[in-house]
Structure 1
Amino acid sequence: MSRADAVGVDAWRAHAEASVLLDGFHALKHALRFGARVPVALATSRAAAIALAEELAPDVRDALDGLLVEVPEASLRALVPRLHPTGVAALAVRPDRAANLAAIARLPRTAPVIVLDNPRNLGNAGAVIRLAAGFGATGVVMTGSLDPWHPTVVRGGAGLHFATAVERLTVDELPPGPVYALDPEGEDIRGTALPDDALLAFGSERSGLSPELRARADHLVSLPMRAQVSSYNLATSVGMTLFHWSTCGTPGAPEGRPAA
């Protein structure tokens, strides 16, 4: 390993414990686009990563050029749980919790907050964050024991945790706003206009809404579903609900967001 390689590995080890793992080129790309502070970024091939940026994300090409340190593949594999096919990994500073909570609680809102009530699947949670970022949701709040900043969740969210406010709270700590909870016994969502300041709440994949969240709900709504079909995937439910909101309210997604 060259001296430059060793410096990159040493920097990683110095920041790893307190940082968010950005697993792969696309997670790093999105984090940079949305203002993440990235103290270290490693690649098995700088040239390949820069070429990928020139093809898919020219807006972050220069930033990547200034950040990326090339290290041997074996060295990077030793630092991450599972090397991404793009051969890129980085560490980012987690956003300030107080700032996230303030953003989630601020009224009036231009877009809902997504509430995942005791989610169990890390990949599903990441996919929800990706959806929320795409629709410009104000934030994603999770109750229960799942860490919304777990590396698998961040991987599933493709680094888009930095495009919205992501935090874990109890039901009692939820921000203000009317709670529209998805439940099979609720009224058909197609007859309901979802307001911009809503909390859109979704139960766990296995057991649905907790008694605490159900008691907090102002409205129970349901998604249209064919008889004898048990349920939708959590991310699918969130996507359908956000699309319905976007057609009956004023979408809050910023204009000019890169598509790649």
Structure 2
Amino acid sequence: MNDPRSPAETTALWQRLASASVLLDGFHALKHALRFGAAVPVAVTADRHAALALADELAPDVRSALEALLTEVTPSAYAALVPRPHPTAVAALAVRPAREERLRVLGRAAREAPVVVLDNPRNLGNAGAVIRLAAGFGVTGVVTTGTLDPWHPTVVRGGAGLHFATAVERLDVTELPPGPLYALDPEGADIRGLKLPDDALLAFGSERSGLSGELRARADQLVALPMRPQVSSYNLATSVAMTLYHWSLTATGVPGGA
């Protein structure tokens, strides 16, 4: 099949849409976005044959969509469209889901999986890793408080395009969805003695300063992860993974759940 557009047409469309779109940086981000229903109006590659061969090997379910979508451009044209060229030499632009729809998903009364809350996170890569984890566990969504944009290109890159598999939004603490809030804190109750409800908000403090006073005051329960004495802390994504795994042991909505 021929490329859907000429390189010049594709570049012009990219430049017109870029400022209002989500950058999908790399083959895997584009693959995941397509799998979870993202609207992708334009995609480029510096090597169409290699990209489609990768689809044959790793993502045959979206191969036909990629064949219809990908336009080959020169390596220099590809590098000019993205801030940091990906080793797979693939990039795309996706339509960001409507905020109203994300808020509806987060706020529904009978959630079957928790919402992860990152309280004032600082590291873009960590936020992306958490979104990837959340998508893997099938949680309802990931909410950030503070100034970090959870749709920043570096976060989307770290999340491998899985923002489209869960509801990702930035909110103030006062705007958090309803539900019992379990906040991770070294002074909390040992998580091994708790059952985390499916409609819980699972809150994690920033990498440097931990939970904010505002979120701590909102918490219904402080929860601690098991940790060897004299070890200061876990990486944020590791803490989220441990907590979601504990939840999944008794959940019904995730692979391996009871």
**Counterpart-to-counterpart distance in 2, 1:29 and 1:142:** 25
For 1:224, what is the secondary structure of its paired residue?
coil
How many Å apart are 1:76 and its aligned residue? 0.9
Measure, in 2, the Cα distance between the counterparts of 1:173 and 1:164: 18
- Please give the alpha-carbon distance, in whole angstroms, between the structure 2 residues aligned to 1:246 and 1:157: 20
> What is the identity, as a one-letter code, of the residue corresponding to 1:98?
E
Matched residue, 1:181: 183
CA drift at 1:79: 1.1
Q: How does 1:47-66 map to 2 (within 5 A)?
A: 47-66=49-68
- Name which of 163, 166, 174 aligns with 1:164: 166
What is the alpha-carbon distance in structure 2 between the residues aligned to residue 5 and residue 238 of structure 1?
42
Distance in 2 of aligned mates of 1:59 and 1:180? 38
Q: Are the aligned partners of 1:110 and 1:252 in contact in 2 as well (CA < 8 Å)?
A: no
Q: State how 1:102-251 maps to structure 2 within 5 Å.
A: 102-251=104-253
- Cα distance, 1:245–1:254 mapped onto 2, change above 3 Å: closer
Alignment counterpart, residue 80 of structure 1, candidates 74, 79, 82? 82
Superposition deviation, residue 253 in structure 1: 6.0
Q: Mark the CA change 1:37 to 1:253 in structure 2 (over 3 Å): closer, same or farther.
A: farther
The equivalent residue for 1:258 is none
Structure 2 Cα separation of the partners of residues 205 and 48 of structure 1: 39
2:23 paired with 1:6: no
Q: What are the Cα deviations for residues 35-74 of structure 1, in whole angstroms up to 9, with x where unaligned?
A: 0000000000111101100100000000000000000010
Aligned residues: 253
SS at match of 2:81: coil
**SS of residue matched to 2:24:** strand
Assess if the C-alpha contact under 8 Å between 1:193 and 1:249 holds in 2.
Answer: no
Give the structure 1 partner of residue 38 of structure 2. 36
**Amino-acid identity (%):** 74
Equivalent of 1:97 in 92, 96, 99: 99
Moved segments of 4+, more than 6 Å: none
Letter in 1 for 2:183: A
Q: Are the aligned partners of 2:44 and 2:92 in contact in 1 as well (CA < 8 Å)?
A: yes
CA 1:97–1:254: 2 relative to 1, 3 Å? farther
Q: Does the Cα contact within 8 Å between 1:136 and 1:254 map onto a contact in 2?
A: no
3-state SS of paired residue (2:207): coil
Query: For residues 246 and 149 of structure 1, what CA distance do their matches in structure 2 show?
Result: 26
TM-score between the two structures when normalised by the length of structure 1:
0.95
Paired residue type of 1:46? R
**Cα RMSD (Å) of the superposition?**
1.3
Q: Deviations over 1:161-202 (max 9, x none)?
A: 000000000000000000000000000000000000000000
Query: Residue by residue, what CA displacement relative to the aligned partner does 1:203-242 show, whole Å, maximum 9, x if unpaired?
Result: 0000000000000000000000001100000000000000
Aligned CA distance change for structure 1 residues 22 and 120 (closer, same or farther; 3 Å): same
Question: Take 1:252 and 1:103, find their aligned partners in 2: how far apart are those partners?
Answer: 17
Q: Which amino acid aligns with 1:92?
A: A
CA distance in 2, matches of 1:143, 1:237: 18
CA contact (8 A) 1:137 1:253 kept: no
In 1, Cα distance between the equivalents of 2:82 and 2:161?
Answer: 16
Structure 2, unaligned stretches of length 5 or more? none
Amino acid at match of 2:55: A
Give the CA deviation at 1:95: 0.5
Name the TM-score, length of structure 2 as normaliser: 0.96
